């Protein structure tokens, strides 16, 4: 079943927010001074939405888990002293009930919560009948259906002001990122739901300040709808996520350094030039597809050969050799090794699938 998201503009108390949606504030609310100081600086930057974690889902116990309800009056005070709209993370029905007592404007659902349909349903049920914008982070694992499922549960509870947040995905192994961005997943989400706004959380993707600008620029270049970024009046003393937080002033210089490119070309001559290049791409893609097909025809001959000669489909040494050689060629051509490896892994998997079908054809025939 294909879901359609019936969405409304993000309008709060008569105020309509437009893209780019910029949300900033500390990872966690730590003290009244920290909230007021950071918040007032954020308000001066004309950023409309302030974020602060009151309940913090930490992967391991022993880390700072937020101060809970004591922090809510500070956020309410900040709201009264500035024009800021306030967003907090909610992970259960109790969080929603408490946050609403303090006029919180926006809820966000964290990555660990999105991964749990029981909790998402509990949140959706608690929000039923409340007109509140909800920002939904991707689940920690790269599962687009789990992300869509959360949006769907909220939608079924009548929530229409939904925004998705790409904050990267957990992985095992080495990476420069804290949570690897898998851009193809939010791009696919956008393709399926063109009216859904998707913002990017460069802080939790990067895990360190030095990478923030690059990830922000990437988000802008991919035409995402905004940024959800952590800032703190004294990042080095932050009680959580200190390496990835920046001061409001540093945030401002990142924002000012970003190049906001246009999503399309309107000038007729420039448009023509782009179309010429795009038709070259179309022709090359067509050639690639025909080459894939030619390769698969040879794979079929090999399958017949292996079947007659009773040879296994996979010879591990041959596969290692293919991967090594292709990576070597990629390097010489200036192509990324990672890219070429992933393309050849997909080709190899398809070759195995074809060979499996052919080599087992007769056997299947015999059993019927």
E runs forming strands in 132-225: 134-137, 162-166, 197-200
Cβ–Cβ < 8 Å for 165, 108: yes
Q: Which residue blocks in 24-136 are alpha helix, DSSP H?
A: 32-44, 72-81, 93-101, 111-114, 117-127
Binding track, positions 26-55, relative to Mn ion; x by CB under 5 A = -x----------------------------
Q: With CB cut-offs between 5 and 8 Å by kind, which of ligand PEP, Mn ion, none does residue 226 bind?
A: none
Judged by CB under 6 A, which stretch of 30-38, 107-115, 124-132, 297-305 contacts ligand PEP? 107-115
* Cβ-based nearer residue to ligand PEP, 102 or 135: 135
Q: Is 111 in the site for ligand PEP (CB under 6 A)?
A: yes
Residue 111 CB, shortest distance to ligand PEP, in Å, is 4
Q: With CB cut-offs between 5 and 8 Å by kind, which of Mn ion, ligand PEP, none does residue 26 bind?
A: none
Q: Is 167 in the site for ligand PEP (CB under 6 A)?
A: yes
* Cβ-based nearer residue to ligand PEP, 155 or 245: 245
* Cβ-based nearer residue to ligand PEP, 90 or 111: 111
Cβ–Cβ < 8 Å for 241, 231: no
Residue 140 CB, shortest distance to ligand PEP, in Å, is 7
Dist. CA 336–CA 348, nearest whole Å = 18
Residue 173 CB, shortest distance to ligand PEP, in Å, is 19
Enumerate residues 120-149 that contact ligand PEP by CB under 6 A.
Answer: 137
Q: Phi and psi dihedrals of 150, rounded to 5?
A: -65, -45
Q: Phi and psi dihedrals of 147, rounded to 5?
A: -65, -50
Strands 15-16 and 11-12 turn out to be antiparallel
List of residues 6+ apart from 16 with CB closer than 8 A = 9, 10
Dist. CA 34–CA 20, nearest whole Å = 26
Considering only 25, 39, 48, 53, the residue that binds ligand PEP (CB under 6 A) is 53
Cβ–Cβ < 8 Å for 201, 139: no
* Cβ-based nearer residue to ligand PEP, 197 or 355: 197
Residue ranges in contact with ligand PEP by CB under 6 A: 27, 53, 57, 110-112, 137, 167, 204
Residue ranges in contact with Mn ion by CB under 5 A: 27, 241
């Amino acid at each position: 079943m294909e879901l359609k998201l019936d969405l409304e503009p993000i309008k709060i108390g008569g105020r309509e927010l437009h893209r780019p949606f910029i949300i900033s504030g500390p990872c966690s609310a730590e003290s009244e001074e920290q909230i007021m100081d950071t918040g007032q600086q954020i308000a001066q930057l004309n950023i409309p939405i302030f974020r602060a974690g009151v309940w913090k889902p930490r992967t391991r116990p022993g880390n700072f888990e937020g101060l809970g309800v004591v922090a809510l009056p500070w956020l309410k005070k900040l709201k009264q002293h500035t024009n800021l709209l306030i967003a907090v993370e909610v992970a259960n029905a109790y969080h929603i009930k408490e946050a609403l007592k303090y006029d919180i404007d926006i809820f966000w659902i964290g990555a660990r919560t999105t991964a749990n349909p029981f909790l998402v349903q509990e949140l959706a049920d608690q929000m039923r009948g409340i007109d509140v914008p909800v920002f939904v982070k991707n689940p920690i694992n790269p599962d687009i259906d789990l992300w869509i499922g959360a949006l769907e549960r909220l939608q079924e509870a009548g929530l229409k002001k939904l925004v998705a947040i790409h904050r990267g995905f957990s992985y095992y192994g080495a990476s420069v990122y804290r949570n690897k961005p898998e851009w193809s997943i939010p791009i696919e989400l956008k393709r399926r739901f063109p009216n859904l706004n998707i913002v990017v959380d460069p802080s939790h993707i990067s895990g360190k300040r030095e990478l923030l600008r690059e990830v922000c620029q990437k988000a802008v270049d991919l035409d995402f709808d905004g940024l959800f970024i952590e800032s703190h009046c004294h990042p080095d003393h932050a009680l959580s996520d200190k390496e990835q937080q920046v001061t409001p002033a540093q945030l401002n210089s990142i924002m000012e350094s970003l190049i906001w490119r246009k999503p399309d070309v309107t000038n007729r001559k420039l448009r023509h030039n782009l179309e010429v290049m795009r038709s070259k791409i179309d022709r090359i893609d067509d050639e690639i597809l025909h080459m894939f097909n030619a390769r698969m025809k040879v794979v079929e001959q090999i399958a017949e050969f292996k079947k007659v000669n009773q040879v296994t489909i996979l010879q591990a040494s041959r596969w290692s050799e293919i991967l090594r050689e292709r990576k070597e060629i990629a390097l010489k051509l200036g192509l990324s090794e990672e890219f070429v490896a992933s393309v050849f892994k997909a080709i190899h998997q398809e070759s195995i699938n074809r060979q499996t079908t052919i080599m087992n054809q007769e056997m299947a025939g015999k059993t019927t």
